[in-house]
Amino acid sequence: MTTTSSSIPAWLSRALANDSRFISETVCSALSEREYARDHMRTRSLATEPQSTSLLARSQQALTSALGKIDPVAHYSITIAHHPDNVVANRYSNIHPYDRTRVVVGDLKGSHCSVGAEGSKGRYFNASWVRELYGGKLWIATQAPLPRTAHVFLSAIVQPISTPPASLNSPHMHSPSRVRTIVQLTPNMERGRRKAHIYFPSTPGQSMVSNPDPTSDAPALKVTLIERKRINEACCVQSKVSIVPVTSTNPQDAVVFTHLLYAAWPDHGVPEDEDQATLLAFVRLVDCVNRDTSALVSSPEPKPDPDPPIMVNCSAGIGRTGSFIAISSLLRAYHLLSSNPSLDTLTPSPQPLSSFPAPPLGTLPKELQEDLIAQEIDSLREQRPGMVQRDEQIHLIYDILKQAFEGRGAV
């Protein structure tokens, strides 16, 4: 994805005017109110007793633009994540995937894991299918692995990708498909706290074994680090990792993926100004690596997916994860627009490649109808709670896009 024009779209210029007060006072406020309304619906989906009249009234008042006949409580349900067998697999007690967009891993007996939104059974995984609104690409947004969930995390890579919900159909979806790129936006340890469980060795040539949690009868997985290198311009460490079931005797059963760890994004914050060029370079690197099929000549798949879904995580899988996906989506959309030979400028705004069903909350306020970043963030939050978690992360997305259009750090 390469953006070299210095032309900033009119909608972005307007948003950045007046010392970004529009972003703080209008965008962040409107998006916060809508997520507050979603949170009420999530709470109601877990209620065993009727909610108080005042809470119900506040929720319904927030849903002033309800469209169609979608049941908002069912739409925002997170009940599967709260099943007693699944609670231990959540890194944080307040971060849960929606039932309707959760990622289902396998269909192995011995694991409870309930029934998905479309009747699919499988192992529970605190991860969500997410489709970019403007870029159109599918992602898997997930929390960082815990000791108990490292095996299901790896299993999501080993097995062919399960079918995303029909509502997230994407022109980018290819079948069969398999995850071959993992993006990690948090160090394993940060400020003395464990943010991500280590699930592959740190020394090339070494192996480790990942065992399934007690509820699963899946085989243990042997995980080997093949190679590791640091890419300074993207402030990241790139690793190539192999996974194979310990029960396998066939070397061709091994699945290889690329792991990309970005090292300049602090928890509850944003990259420093001097690091933002490396974030642009990292976005470009991720896209390039994921499209590289040169190492798949011996793949058992007859036609490997040229651009499969990427699995991305920070610690909780919402703040840094959502911000990264939003940036990637809009840069991808503008690249597609600029590559059209009938256009000689990046000024025109891209359109969503395919529309989503109208959410129970209705559309964004009129003043945000032309703001692509606000639209993208709101769409991501419809698919996984809390995406782009903090106001400073919203500001970061505007700043990164501005830098890309000004030609600083081509992406």
Segment 56-99, tens digit of pLDDT = 444 444 443 344 467 899 999 999 999 999 999 999 999 999 99
Task: Tokens for 404, please give them.
Answer: 């890309």
Q: For residue range 174-230, list pLDDT tens digits in order.
A: 777 889 999 999 999 998 899 999 999 999 999 999 999 887 888 999 999 999 999
Best CA proximity match to 24, nearest among 276, 407, 395, 353: 395
Domains of the chain: 10-405 (3.90.190.10)
Beta strand segments in 46-199, E = 127-131, 138-142, 181-184, 189-190, 193-194
Least confident of 66-70, 305-309, 342-346, 374-378: 342-346
Task: Tokens for 95, please give them.
Answer: 């971060």
Write down the pTM of the prediction.
Answer: 0.89
Residue 111: pLDDT over 60:
no
- Check residue 208 and report its DSSP letter: E
- Check residue 318 and report its DSSP letter: S
Best CA proximity match to 349, nearest among 322, 364, 369, 326: 369
Q: Cα separation of 376 and 333, whole Å?
A: 11
**Cβ-Cβ contacts under 8 Å for 29 (sequence gap 6 or more):** none
Best CA proximity match to 329, nearest among 388, 391, 274, 270: 388
Q: For residue 64, with 0-12 CB atoms within 10 Å meaning exposed, 13-18 middle and 19 or more buried, which class applies? A: exposed
- Contact criterion met (CB below 8 Å) for 125 and 137: no
Q: Cα separation of 346 and 341, whole Å?
A: 12
Residue 245: pLDDT over 90:
yes
